[in-house]
Amino acid sequence: MNWNRIKVGGITLGIVLIFNWIFSKSPIIFDYLYFKSIFQAFRGLHDFTLGFLPIPSLYIIAPVFIGYFFYKKKDFKYWILESIGACLIWIVVFFYITWGFNYQQPHIGKMLNLPSVKVDSVYISQTFRDQTKILDSMLTNLTIEAPTDIIKLENETRILQEDLLTKWKIPTIGRVRVRSLFGGSLLHIRTSGIYIPHAFEGHLDSGIYPLQYPFTLAHEMAHGYGFTDESVCNFVSYLTCLKSSNPTVRFSAELAYWRYLVGYYKYFHREVWKEEYQNLNPKLKYHLDEISNHVERYKDWMPKYRDVIYDKYLKSHGVKAGIRSYNQMILLIAAYRQMEDTTSVSTEGDNHQ
């Protein structure tokens, strides 16, 4: 009798895992039964109620959820054990129901019919140099200013992202919120943003370098519209930000892309990198230093285990590349650009290289 909540939770979890398996086998069932119906209903329900509150939904949902399992000491020897067990099981159950089934989404390459491309060291080197020139030119010709009004940035980003997703025929019934949390809340675990399915909202640590807000915000927003894969969210965020008329938003995305490229470029050109780094635009070096300085203000609480845990988490959800999945953004952008080039060649008979 006393273990009822665990029993019910266990059975529900079993059913959830069966559905997860069914969705993994049938993209059509996943699409109609979950992504285009249940998930959208949840989105609408949250976004048009708690989503309007000035505080993160997390501050309401977390205490209510945890309180429900622990509020009353029961006349039962193992009540605390039972409460912890039941709470953990239901966290997992709700994770799937509110968002986690989206891990079964077909790959974006398939959804958008992206061509398969080869990204090798020659491509990386050339793209990195081109990207450096783009940043150079932006820093020279445009006014790049840290965004001060995050709500305004959030609203503008949502319009751009919904526009992009609508073109891809992805439903945007909700209005995904991305909340700003106090500095250090996530940076202590070396994370700049996080989407919390149970709260239906994305979050970013306000302690990150403000020029990173636009890209991070658009990344978390993409999670909210149902994308689970990190590289896909980077890709969606990149395209979203590039649509903006605000140079700072575009710069934020180009800088993020550059930072993914530089990791590989450094690896391929270890001998000359130090010298090349010295020759970078001083303004760019300033921004790079500021990014690290902002992170370093917060002590790393779990340096060794974080990446291992997150890697295991991603792999357990079928993201085979694990933590490297973030870097596949380079591949997606390469494929997308190739697709755009082919489209413009065939429609205009004119090669935009």
What is the token pair recorded at 89?
A: 């099981």
Cα distances (angstroms) measured from residue 335 to each of 113, 117, 297: 10, 6, 37
- Which is closer to Zn ion, CB of 162 or CB of 230? 230
Shortest reach from residue 170's CB to Zn ion, in Å: 17
Residue 130 amino acid letter: D
Side-chain half-sphere CA neighbours of 43 within 13 A: 22
Shortest reach from residue 177's CB to Zn ion, in Å: 15
Shortest reach from residue 240's CB to Zn ion, in Å: 14
Tokens 């020139």 sit on residue? 133
- Which is closer to Zn ion, CB of 233 or CB of 261? 233
Instruction: State how far the Cα of 119 lies from the Cα of 116, in Å rounded to an integer.
Output: 10
- Which is closer to Zn ion, CB of 201 or CB of 230? 230
Instruction: State how far the Cα of 232 lies from the Cα of 226, in Å rounded to an integer.
Output: 11
User: Would strands 193-196 and 178-181 be described as parallel, antiparallel, or unpaired?
Assistant: unpaired
- Which is closer to Zn ion, CB of 154 or CB of 230? 230
Hey, which residues between 268 and 307 contact Zn ion (CB under 5 A)?
A: none
Hey, which residues between 159 and 198 contact Zn ion (CB under 5 A)?
A: none
What is the token pair recorded at 83?
A: 């409460």
- Which is closer to Zn ion, CB of 208 or CB of 233? 233
Q: Which residues pair with 178 in a beta bridge?
A: 202
Shortest reach from residue 333's CB to Zn ion, in Å: 17
The candidate with the shortest Cα–Cα distance to 128, out of 272, 250, 262, is 262
Angle at 319 (CA atoms; ends 317, 320), nearest 5 degrees: 120
Shortest reach from residue 108's CB to Zn ion, in Å: 14
State the binding string over 91-130 for Zn ion (x if CB under 5 A, else -).
Answer: ----------------------------------------
Shortest reach from residue 254's CB to Zn ion, in Å: 19
- Which is closer to Zn ion, CB of 82 or CB of 230? 230
| Alpha-helix runs per DSSP H in the chain | 4-25, 27-29, 39-47, 58-70, 79-98, 108-111, 121-141, 150-167, 213-224, 230-242, 247-268, 270-278, 282-296, 305-316, 329-348
Shortest reach from residue 193's CB to Zn ion, in Å: 7
- Which is closer to Zn ion, CB of 205 or CB of 230? 230
- Which is closer to Zn ion, CB of 9 or CB of 193? 193
Instruction: State how far the Cα of 20 lies from the Cα of 216, in Å rounded to an integer.
Output: 29
Hey, which residues between 334 and 353 contact Zn ion (CB under 5 A)?
A: none
State the binding string over 312-331 for Zn ion (x if CB under 5 A, else -).
Answer: --------------------
Shortest reach from residue 230's CB to Zn ion, in Å: 5
- Which is closer to Zn ion, CB of 97 or CB of 194? 194
State the binding string over 215-244 for Zn ion (x if CB under 5 A, else -).
Answer: ---------------x--x-----------
Residues 6+ apart with CB under 8 A from 252: 211, 212, 213, 214, 215, 241
Shortest reach from residue 52's CB to Zn ion, in Å: 24
Phi first, then psi: give them for residue 299, nearest 5 degrees. -65, 140
Judged by the rule CB under 5 A, the positions of this chain that interact with Zn ion are 230, 233
